[in-house]
Amino acid sequence: MMHRKLLLLITSLLYAYSCLFAQVNIHDSAISTPMIYATYGYQFPRGDLATQFGSNSTIGGGFIFKTKHNWMFGAEGNFMFGQSVKNTDSLLRMISTSEGFVTDANGYVADIIYYERGYNILVKFGKVLPVLAPNPNCGIALLAGAGYIQDKIRISNPGNSAPQLLGDYKKGYDRLNGGIALTGSVGYLYLSNTRLLNFSACFELMQAWTNPYRKRDFDTGLQDTRKLSTQFYTIRILWIIPLYRRVPKEFYMY
């Protein structure tokens, strides 16, 4: 019931926004408009977490408001995922055989799969510079942001046959960490005159300062007290839905 009420509230707000900024002429002048979008990014980490993870993907969405002076502000959330996890040979060495295998409850070699998982939540603001643009609402987009980031190693044991990696035991190996992040991006925002195609493509740099959250890493027997500094270089694309209605044509052909 609560989820239905929340969905109804969000739908009502989006409809109110679309009515408030109804019937605008995007071709001739810069307009104020709210926009929702879906986004995909491919990231290349550098710094401390690059020793743990390789490249990864992000998928998410956000809401942004553009003023008639082409200032933008909004919020965005992304889910981070990947399969490039490094140093897995040493991660489970305390529960592995001399050959480096983890055995399950039946004495067989357990199937262990490693993933990167995480998320970030950001607030963003910036400016659109109408350069090389078909209308005053498009052009080079400069954005900056700040927020929270968290990631970890997800250790999967299909069938949960290895009791050494069930429940809280698994948390001792996942390297969970989180902290603050700052972002900056430069790209191109395109809002078509006909509303048929609206997108943005950009290059984004994120600087993250995170702390390990687990009280003890089981492979070392110690608490990780490092202050981690990581950079993510991201190529990002956005599919945008602007919430406005165009001015109707003055003449109609029948």
What is the CATH number for 87? 2.40.160.20
* Residue 41 main-chain phi, psi, to 5 deg: -140, 150
Task: Kindly report the pTM of this predicted structure.
Answer: 0.85
Rounded to an integer, the average pLDDT of 68-89 is: 96
Q: Note down the domain range covering 178.
A: 25-242
Quick check: is 251 in a domain? no
Q: DSSP assignment, residue 223? A: -
Are the CB atoms for 199 and 240 separated by under 8 Å? yes
* Residue 98 main-chain phi, psi, to 5 deg: -65, -20
Token pair for 40 = 């995909």
pLDDT at 146 over 90: yes
Q: What is the pLDDT of residue 89?
A: 85
Greatest pairwise CA separation for the chain in angstroms: 82
Quick check: is 254 in a domain? no
155, with CB counted inside 10 A (0-12, 13-18, 19+), is buried
Quick check: is 55 in a domain? yes
Rounded to an integer, the average pLDDT of 121-128 is: 98
Q: What is the pLDDT of residue 77?
A: 98
Quick check: is 82 in a domain? yes
Quick check: is 108 in a domain? yes
Q: What is the pLDDT of residue 246?
A: 59
- In three-state secondary structure terms, 174 is coil
pLDDT at 120 over 80: yes
pLDDT band at 248 (very low <50, low <70, confident <90, very high): low
Q: How far apart are CA 150 and CA 248, in angstroms?
A: 47
Are the CB atoms for 171 and 212 separated by under 8 Å? no
The tally of domains found in the chain comes to: 1
Per-chain mean pLDDT for the chain: 89
Q: How far apart are CA 17 and CA 103, in angstroms?
A: 57
Quick check: is 4 in a domain? no
User: Distance between terminal CA atoms of the chain?
Assistant: 48
Quick check: is 96 in a domain? yes
171 versus 10: the higher-pLDDT residue is 171
Q: How far apart are CA 228 and CA 176, in angstroms?
A: 12
Quick check: is 36 in a domain? yes
Q: What is the pLDDT of residue 63?
A: 97
pLDDT more than 90, % of the chain: 70
